[in-house]
Amino acid sequence: MKKLIYMIYMNLFILMLSGCQPSVNHDFIIPPIEDYQIKDFNYIAYEPLFPNENQSLSEDELNDTVKANVFIHNLSYNNPWLLIDASLYTGSGVIFHETDTYYYVLTNAHVVQQNESYRFQAIEVYDYEDNKYDGFIYEGSIDLELDLSVIVFAKEEELTVLTLANGQVLIDEKVYAIGNPLKKRNVIPDGKVVGYNRTIVEDKDGNIHYMSFYAITHNALINDGSSGGMLINKDLYIVGINFASGKDEEKVESFSIPSNLVVSYLNNLISNQNSID
C-alpha cells in the first residue's frame, strides 16, 4: 500500500513539474537549407521625413504593424523529456520576409545563441496573438559583431511582413519600438532619434562587448525582452533593430542597429549562401 501511494505521489509530482516547465516538440526536424534559402528580399531607400510630417501613427496602422511582432523563446536544455535543468531566454523579433511556406524574422544574435552549458536547443516563436510555432535559426545567420540573426518558421496564420528602409534615420525623427519587454506582449513605446553612438554592452552573463558600429540612439523606452524588436518610422518601415538600453534610470537611452547595416548583412548572407551552391 505504501508503495502504491509513493508511485501515485511521484506521478503527480512529475505532472506538476511538466505543467510548469516548457515543452519541446520532439517531432520537429529542421529542414535542409535548400527548402528555406532566401533568394532575395524587399527593401526600400530611406527617405527622410520633414518635421511637420512627424505626426503619430493611427490605431489601425499600429494594430496592423503589431502583426509583424513575434516573441521568441530560446530554450537550452540537457534532458529532452524532463526540462527541469533548462535555460530559457526570451526576446523579440520582426517579420521582414515571406515565401509560400515560411516567415523570416530578424532578431539579435544574443537572443538566439545556445547556452553553452547545455547540449540541446529549441527555438519557439509566438505571434502577436500567442500562436506558437517551431522555429529555427537560418543557417549561417548568426553575426556576433552586428548582433543579428534570422529565425524561420512555417506559415500557418496570416501575419504582417514589414519592409526594411535602406538608410540611416535622421536625428529628431519620430520612431516606434515595438516588442515584448518584461514578457509583456506587443508594447509600442514611441520617441525620437537623438543621435548615433558606439556602445559597450553587458550580456546576461556579465561579459562586456564593444560594438564597433554606430548605433541609433533613441528615447523610446525598451527593456529586457525588447532585444531583437523592431524600430519603425511613421511610414511603417523598419529603420533599426533594438539590441540594448542604457542603465541610467533618469535618462531613457535605447540603442538600435541601423537598417542600412541590416540590409548589408542580409545581402552578404544571401550572397555567401548562393556562392556555396
pLDDT tens digits for the chain (277 residues)?
A: 344 333 333 333 333 333 344 578 878 999 999 999 999 999 999 988 766 555 778 889 999 999 999 999 999 999 877 777 888 999 999 999 999 999 999 999 999 999 988 999 999 999 999 999 999 999 999 999 999 999 999 999 999 999 999 999 999 999 999 999 998 999 999 999 999 999 988 877 778 888 999 999 999 999 999 999 999 999 999 999 999 998 777 789 999 999 999 999 999 999 987 766 6
- What lies within 8 Å, CB to CB, of 160 at 6+ separation is 64, 65, 66, 67, 68, 95
Q: How many whole angstroms separate alpha carbon 16 and alpha carbon 164?
A: 44
Q: How many whole angstroms separate alpha carbon 169 and alpha carbon 226?
A: 20
What pLDDT, on a 0 to 100 scale, did the predictor assign at position 51?
60
Q: Which residue carries 508594447 as its cell?
A: 187
What pLDDT, on a 0 to 100 scale, did the predictor assign at position 118?
92
What pLDDT, on a 0 to 100 scale, did the predictor assign at position 276?
63
Could you tell me the CATH number of the domain that includes residue 246? 2.40.10.120
207 is a domain residue: yes
> φ, ψ for residue 64 (rounded to 5)?
-70, -40
39 is a domain residue: no
73 is a domain residue: yes
What pLDDT, on a 0 to 100 scale, did the predictor assign at position 101?
97
Q: Taken in order 33, 161, 194, 226, is the CA torsion positive or negative?
A: negative
Number of CB atoms found within 10 A of residue 44's CB = 15
45 is a domain residue: no
37 is a domain residue: no
> φ, ψ for residue 121 (rounded to 5)?
-145, 145
Number of domains composing the chain: 1
Contact 208, 201 (CB under 8 A): yes
Range of the domain at 245: 60-276
Contact 171, 214 (CB under 8 A): no
- Tell me the β-bridge partners of 143: 148
Strand ranges in the chain using DSSP code E only, listed in sequence order: 43-45, 69-77, 86-98, 102-107, 120-126, 132-137, 149-154, 163-166, 174-178, 190-202, 208-218, 230-232, 237-245, 254-258
Calculate the alpha carbon distances from 240 to 65, 134, 138, 167, 184 in Å.
15, 25, 20, 10, 21
33 is a domain residue: no
Q: How many whole angstroms separate alpha carbon 53 and alpha carbon 272?
A: 39
Q: Catalytic site residues?
A: 110, 147, 227
Contact 170, 216 (CB under 8 A): no
13 is a domain residue: no
40 is a domain residue: no
